[in-house]
A and B are shown apart, each in its own frame.
Chain A
Amino acid sequence: MDPPAGNPSVVAIWAAIIGVTLTALVTRLSFLVLGERARLPPRLESVLRYAPACALAAIVVPDLLMAGGELALDWHNHRLVAGLCAAAVMLATRSILWTIVVGMGLFSALRLWL
């Protein structure tokens, strides 16, 4: 099997680390440093509020719904089954810890015994 297309170089990894760090710094310091001088238009603020939901969904949904590059919407997709149960746990308990424990436990059980 071929390695993934990129196989990132040392320079590429460092550049990525610096790039990601800058995004965290700029966003976290934005209003704390600018203070009262800056104002966020209310419409923009409401859009920003929903950005995390969109970003997280775009990352995790393909992870759960797809297997080997194909849609896999059935009980044989262990990630989907474990993910749905983990989401239910999160809704019920609001505990990140329990969500990961139950999801990982179920995923491992399905992988080992089915």
Chain B
Amino acid sequence: MSTDTPERALPATTDAALATRALREGAGEFMPAALGVGAWGLVTGVAMVQSGLPLWAALAMSLIVFAGSAQLAALPLIIAGAPLWLVTLTALVVNLRFIIYSAALRQSLQHLPAGRRVLLGYLVGDVPTAIYLQRLRHAPGWPGSGDYLLGLSAANALVWHVSSLVGIFAASSLPRDWGLEFAGSLAVLALLVPACRTRPGLAGAVVAGTVAVLGHGWPLRTGVLAGMAAGIGAAFIVQSSLGARRAAAT
């Protein structure tokens, strides 16, 4: 008990100082990833304008939505005039991974007030989540975790917004025949490759891609949706059979 006393006796500012340090630490540890996120934001900005979205719409989308892969996925559907339910459903499927993230994050953020959790939830992205979970694996129960994540996420949001704005304004003065929107496909591909590391992920991607190609000419771009659904089904089957085999082996 007596060993607790010196800590309690520290001045009240210590909490704030610790929070600031965790915040800075988060922002600092984001920096190695900043180039990648910057490139991704730039590409999303360029792709939005070059595929034919009006400037105001590209700006609004970039600033409000704040979810790059959902933006890139919804973009061709919006341009093609697909119905709202299809645009929204497609974005939802791309964003389903955030449910996993938020389930993975909640335990270490449970102690925070609801307002702070909403802020963190709004700001969080793929890269901050990955860095955060990596760090928490080595330091579970760290009291500065919320501020650390805020630092990571704020740095991520800043880099993302600045780079996508640069992309949007640069794209409107770049010629359309350079095929710059292909950079959007490459960025999606860069996210796809690591998602295929597991066997169910790879099976799902192969089936999803094949069905999407077969359904390319379908009305309302429903081939994309059919591909997603078939892929998720395939991933589930492979996952179940792997689980069954593992259960049989033990």
Q: From the candidates A23, A53, A56, A79, name the one contacting B182 in the complex (CB within 8 A).
A: A79
**Bound complex: CA A20 to CA B86 (Å):** 10
Distance in angstroms between the alpha carbons of A46 and B232 in the assembled complex: 10
| Contacts A14-B60, A58-B211 supplied; 12 other A-B pairs, CB < 8 Å | A13-B57, A19-B91, A20-B74, A23-B91, A33-B118, A47-B239, A50-B195, A52-B69, A53-B196, A56-B69, A60-B188, A99-B187
Q: Which chain A positions have C-beta within 8 A of B53?
A: 13
List the A residue with the shortest CB-CB distance to B205.
Answer: A57
Q: Is the CB of A69 within 8 A of B102?
A: no
Chain B residues with Cβ below 8 Å from A103 are 182-183, 186, 189
The smallest beta-carbon distance between B76 and chain A, in angstroms, is 8
In chain B, positions 45-85 with a C-beta closer than 8 Å to chain A are 53-54, 57, 60-61, 64-67, 69-74, 77-82, 84
**CA–CA, A35 to B90, complex, Å?**
26
Q: Interface residues of A: mostly helix, strand, loop or mixed?
A: helix
- Please indicate the chain B residues that have their CB under 8 angstroms from the CB of A12 in the complex: 78, 81, 84
Using a CB–CB cutoff of 8 Å, the interface residues on chain A facing chain B are: 4-8, 12-17, 19-25, 27-33, 35-36, 40, 45-66, 69, 71, 79, 82-83, 86-87, 90-91, 94-97, 99-101, 103-104, 107-108, 111
Given contacts A47-B236, A56-B192, contact A107 B182 (CB under 8 A): yes
Q: B98 touching A28 by the CB < 8 A rule?
A: yes
Output the least CB separation between B168 and chain A (Å): 14
CB-based contact B204/A104 at 8 Å: no
> Which residue of A15, A21, A53 is within 8 Å of B231 (Cβ)?
A53
CB atoms of A56 and B213 under 8 A apart: no
Q: Confirm or deny: B212 has a beta carbon within 8 angstroms of a beta carbon on chain A.
A: yes
Interface of B: prevailing SS: helix
| A95–B33 alpha-carbon span in the complex (Å) | 9
Residue with the highest number of chain B CB atoms closer than 10 Å, among A24, A52, A71:
A52
Pick from A7, A8, A45, A83: contact of B103, CB below 8 A. Answer: A45
A-facing residues in B161-220 (Cβ within 8 Å): 178-180, 182-183, 185-196, 198, 200-202, 204-213, 216-217
Q: How far is the CB of B156 from chain A (nearest CB, A)?
A: 13
A-B contact pairs, 6 of them (CB 8 A): A13-B78, A21-B65, A50-B200, A50-B239, A58-B211, A71-B213
A36 and B14 CA atoms in complex are apart in Å by 30
Of the candidates A54, A69, A91, A107, the one whose C-beta lies within 8 Å of that of B204 is A54
- Contact indicator per residue, chain B 91-110, by CB within 8 Å of chain A (1) or not (0): 11111111111110110011
